[in-house]
Amino acid sequence: MIPVPPGMFVFPCFATKHEAPTLQEEMSYFVTGTDTGVGKTLISCALLHAFAAQGKRVAGMKPVAAGCDEDGQNEDVKQLRAASNILASLGQINPYSFLQPVAPHIAARNAGVRIDLARILNSYRELASQSDVVIVEGVGGFCVPLNDTQDSADLALQLGRPVIMVVGMRLGCINHALLTALAISDCGLKCAGWVANVVDEGMPALQENIEALERRVGAPLLGVVPYQEQPDVRAVAAQLNLALLAEGSDGISPDTHD
């Protein structure tokens, strides 16, 4: 755990700190973001394409999705399924899907459902048994509640996979990214890398923000994704340096608290 200076408060996630990971597949990752709407699905699909280009059997997973279109399906789930190259059921890829586009614990409660992490883990194991790589896209940010006692951090911890953090490059992203990195480390998980996804076309001081994060996030920058009106997932995949994933770390850089 990263030491927190006196007077600094870090919001605790529900996850039990430093609990041993339960699943050990080497090339699967949990993708989280600094907020909702920062491009987690785009980056998850790009990772799937990049690993598939290496000849890997890949599967995308969205354990919990909130918000469905007119055909009753979630758009993120459809994209992840399309980017996968194995046959898997919708229930394996997306164990929980809710109509309301609200926080998952609220959507579940309104639907009379309790999100059960054991069910998600079973679906993950089924996907992992027939894949070389499973990319698990979290819902919302890293600490979003899933039920009354567990949040997305608990799910990541029980999966036991390294985390890839998607940073939505816009005003406030440095604070959001460092708090997310602290939460990942505080739970005892490894941040394998991060992606700078430009979501604000006119963001001032973009390069300076990226450089500040490179100095402070103790994990490699896998790629910078420029702003796109119509994202091209294959082009994004080509911008990701998967070789850097082996260099991920357990926390943020020491100079964060200088």
Query: Strands 191-198 and 163-169: what pairing?
Result: parallel
- SS3 label, residue 114: coil
Q: What is the spatial distance between Cα 240 and Cα 66, in angstroms, rounded to a whole number? A: 28
Whether residue 51 contacts residue 58, with contact meaning beta carbons closer than 8 Å, is answered with yes
Residues noted as catalytic: 62
Summarised one tens digit per residue, pLDDT across range 137-185 is 999 899 999 999 999 999 999 999 999 999 999 999 999 999 999 999 9
Summarised one tens digit per residue, pLDDT across range 107-140 is 999 999 999 999 999 999 999 999 999 999 999 8
Summarised one tens digit per residue, pLDDT across range 46-90 is 999 999 999 999 999 999 999 988 777 899 999 999 999 999 999
Beta carbons within 10 angstroms of residue 74's beta carbon: 22
pLDDT confidence band for 92 (50 / 70 / 90):
very high
Summarised one tens digit per residue, pLDDT across range 16-58 is 443 434 444 468 999 999 999 999 999 999 999 999 999 999 9
All structural domains of the chain: 34-242 (3.40.50.300)
Instruction: State how far the alpha carbon of 212 is from the alpha carbons of 109, 126, 221, 250, 256, in Å.
Output: 40, 40, 12, 19, 10
Q: What is the per-residue pLDDT for 164?
A: 98
